[in-house]
């Protein structure tokens, strides 16, 4: 069983001697007095159910501080809204249901906090991943530039026009004044040389695959 120090918020002092006279009152009698603003009756109700509700809240939240906050807020809300609350069956049943919803609200608060933390973590991860991807992409393009220098001049021109400027074989044929079949031969040769140069670097091959 879990219990901690009780804290009750009232306006004015509570006479403990007078409070004892309310302990024998039924829940229904206390509630009638509470609706009229009787703080002795409210304190008696609080003392009657505080520990039971606290243990229930703790069993569901597994957090002593959260459990105490939930029960404390429950009683505060009851006192503040006493003239609006309608008891359908019994006061103890109302307290149990009200506590249930308070616990659910606390879970929702936890979920919001957890979601925010997850979102922040994901954002940080995405930022980190984006930076890593940008570095890898730059490395790959630098490496591709080094490999293109190794290609025969005409092969390099055909490759660059095709992959970087996205021109068709017919457009390349016209620009370089060579036949389409020759464009195909230069392109195949360029790809063959580049793939051969990258065969020992699988990651580089994956990064540059769309060019090959």
CB 10 within 8 Å of CB 39: yes
Q: What is the pLDDT of residue 178?
A: 92
Kindly list the averaged pLDDT for each block of 10 residues, start to end, along the chain of length 212. Answer: 46 49 86 88 89 90 84 88 86 89 79 52 50 62 77 87 86 91 90 78 59 60
Q: What is the pLDDT of residue 15?
A: 47
> 131-135, long-range: CB within 8 Å, 24+ apart, which pairs?
none
CB 161 within 8 Å of CB 175: yes
Q: Which two tokens stand for residue 208?
A: 């540059």
Q: What is the pLDDT of residue 17?
A: 44
Q: What is the pLDDT of residue 208?
A: 59
Q: Is the pTM of this model over 0.75?
A: no
Q: Which two tokens stand for residue 21?
A: 């006279």
Q: Classify the C-alpha dihedral 69-75-76-77 as positive or negative.
A: positive
Q: What is the pLDDT of residue 197?
A: 78
Structural domains present in the chain: 16-116 (1.10.1740.10), 150-211 (1.10.10.10)
Q: What is the pLDDT of residue 130?
A: 52
Q: What is the pLDDT of residue 125?
A: 53
CB atoms within 10 A of CB 202: 9
How many Å apart are CA 95 and CA 74, to the nearest integer? 8
pLDDT in tens, 157-208: 898 888 888 889 999 999 889 999 999 999 888 888 888 877 766 556 555 5
Q: What is the pLDDT of residue 117?
A: 46
How many Å apart are CA 181 and CA 185, to the nearest integer? 6
DSSP string computed for 132-195 = HHHHHHHHHHHHHHHHHHTS-HHHHHHHHHHHTS---HHHHHHHHT--HHHHHHHHHHHHHHHH
């Amino acid at each position: 069983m879990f219990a901690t120090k009780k804290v009750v918020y009232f306006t004015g002092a509570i006479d403990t001697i007078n409070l004892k006279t309310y302990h024998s009152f039924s829940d229904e009698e206390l509630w009638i007095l509470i609706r009229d603003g009787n703080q002795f009756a409210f304190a008696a109700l609080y003392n009657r159910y505080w520990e039971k509700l606290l243990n229930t809240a703790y069993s569901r939240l597994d957090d002593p501080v959260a459990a105490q906050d939930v029960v404390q807020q429950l009683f505060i809300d009851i006192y503040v809204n006493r003239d609006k609350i309608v008891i359908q069956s019994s006061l103890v049943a109302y307290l149990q249901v009200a506590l249930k919803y308070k616990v659910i609200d606390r879970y929702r608060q936890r979920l919001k906090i957890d979601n925010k933390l997850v979102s922040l973590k994901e954002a940080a991860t995405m930022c980190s991943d984006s930076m890593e991807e940008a570095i890898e992409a730059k490395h790959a393009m630098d490496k591709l530039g080094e490999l293109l220098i190794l290609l025969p001049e005409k092969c390099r021109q055909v490759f660059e026009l095709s992959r970087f400027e996205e021109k068709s074989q017919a457009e390349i044929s016209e620009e370089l004044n060579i036949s389409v079949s020759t464009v195909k031969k230069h392109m195949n040769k360029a790809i063959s040389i580049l793939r051969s140069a990258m065969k020992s670097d699988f990651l580089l091959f994956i990064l540059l695959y769309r060019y090959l």
